[in-house]
């Protein structure tokens, strides 16, 4: 009788212990989802190149100059940490033709190296379309987004233009099961809770407005405007994709005939997260080579160098290092941007050939006379 009682007690203790472990697993999974979502909200659009290309966070900020712009970005964070954040992004924007007037300006017609950056144009109505593709990953979690946008710009106060833009698109948030490492290979809790519910598709929107001229730019925008809930297989996580607000302002000053200085501020705010700001400046040489330094109020510094290469291609590199509590756990962040400007370029060689032929014909007529 005593043995049966002891066996019954052991069985009950084992059951209770197993039950407690299962409950704990559910709690840990739920907490992990909440933690990842909060981390992701703080990582939304953390790009060093936003000051140079504000279209990254503002759908109204494309088409300010009379050129098409296409840019690809590769960003790698926390190099000292396995499974650190990795981002790939592609953006593109351009004015579109609505009448007979050409919307693209002549740009770098002679295909010179170290060409100057295109200048924003004002004084005319503009219609702009754009697109953005982003893939973010951190550990086993990843998010892929595709957005399209439309903006309209119009003259405002003499040499200033005002614009508004709207963007909409699709995002997929998922857990890559091949990157999940389990303590127990046959973990039934993971299999039943996440094994068949590791992906969520959402529709979202963003919006923005801009004021700009040749020297000044100011923009305000919001992303994740619909504030979708995070749901896996009808399981509510009590978390959402929080709205983000972005404010950008910059002004270009002439130091002398060779150098320009462009101070800037980039303010970011996400619901349930502290305000963050990037404050800094760029020094430009002949508006073709630049060096930038920014301080992020979350205890980080950003150094960026860039150059306009050849055939309208430009390249920039940024290194971000932390001065906060995580500096010993990571080796900084690297970001590379490669882009191209496409304008309504003149065919200079053919024009020169035509001029030579005209000159030859004129000389021939003069000799006949």
Architecture in CATH for domain 2-368: Beta Barrel (2.40)
pLDDT tens-place values along the chain, 369 residues long: 444 444 444 444 443 344 444 444 444 444 344 444 444 445 476 899 999 999 999 999 999 999 999 999 999 987 767 778 899 999 999 999 887 777 888 898 888 889 999 999 999 999 999 999 999 988 878 899 999 999 999 999 889 999 999 999 999 988 776 656 555 666 665 555 555 557 789 999 999 999 999 999 999 999 999 988 877 666 666 677 889 999 999 999 999 999 999 999 999 998 878 899 999 999 999 999 999 999 999 888 999 999 999 889 999 999 998 876 555 555 689 999 999 999 986 555 555 666 677 777 777 766 766
Burial of residue 308 (number of CB atoms within 10 Å: 0-12, 13-18, 19+): buried
Domain range annotation of the chain? 2-368
Burial 138-153 (b: 16+ CB within 10 A, else e): bbbbbbbbebebbbeb
Predicted local confidence at residue 238, as pLDDT: 66
Name residue 121's beta-bridge partners: none
pTM of this prediction? 0.80
Paired tokens of 3:
């043995």
Contacts of 336 (CB under 8 A, 6+ apart): 73, 74, 75, 315, 316, 317
| DSSP per position, 198-233 | -EEEEEEEEEEEEEE-SSEEEEEEEESTT-PEEEET
Predicted local confidence at residue 92, as pLDDT: 97
């Amino acid at each position: 009788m005593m043995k049966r009682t002891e066996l019954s007690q052991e069985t009950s203790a084992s059951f209770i212990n197993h039950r407690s472990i299962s409950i704990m697993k559910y709690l840990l999974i739920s907490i992990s989802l909440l933690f990842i979502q909060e981390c992701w909200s703080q990582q939304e659009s953390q790009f060093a190149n936003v000051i140079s290309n504000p279209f990254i966070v503002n759908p109204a900020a494309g088409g300010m100059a009379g050129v098409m712009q296409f840019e690809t970005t590769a960003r790698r964070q926390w190099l000292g940490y396995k499974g650190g954040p990795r981002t790939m992004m592609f953006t593109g924007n351009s004015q579109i033709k609505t009448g007979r007037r050409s919307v693209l300006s002549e740009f770098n017609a002679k295909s010179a190296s170290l060409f100057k950056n295109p200048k924003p144009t004002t004084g005319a109505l503009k219609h702009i379309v754009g697109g953005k593709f982003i893939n973010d990953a951190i550990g086993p979690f990843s998010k892929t987004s595709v957005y399209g946008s439309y903006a309209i710009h119009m003259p405002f106060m003499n040499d200033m233009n005002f614009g508004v833009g709207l963007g909409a698109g699709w995002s997929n948030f998922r857990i890559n099961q091949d990157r999940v490492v389990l303590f127990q290979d046959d973990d039934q809790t993971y299999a039943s809770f996440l094994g068949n519910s590791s992906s969520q598709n959402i529709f979202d929107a963003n919006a923005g407005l801009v004021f700009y001229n040749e020297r000044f730019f100011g923009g305000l925008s919001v992303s994740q405007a619909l504030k979708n809930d995070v749901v896996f297989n009808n399981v509510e996580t009590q978390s959402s994709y929080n709205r983000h607000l972005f404010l950008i302002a910059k002004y270009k000053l002439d130091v002398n005939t060779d150098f320009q200085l462009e101070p800037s501020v980039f303010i970011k705010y996400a619901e349930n997260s502290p305000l963050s700001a990037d404050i800094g400046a760029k020094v430009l040489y002949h508006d073709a080579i630049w060096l930038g330094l920014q301080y992020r109020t979350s205890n980080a510094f950003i150094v960026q160098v860039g150059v306009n290469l050849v055939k309208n291609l430009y390249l920039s590199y940024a290194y971000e290092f932390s001065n906060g509590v995580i500096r010993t756990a990571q080796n900084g962040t690297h970001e590379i941007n490669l882009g191209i400007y496409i304008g309504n370029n003149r065919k200079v060689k053919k024009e020169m050939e035509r001029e030579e032929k005209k000159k030859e014909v004129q000389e021939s007529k003069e000799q006949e006379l």
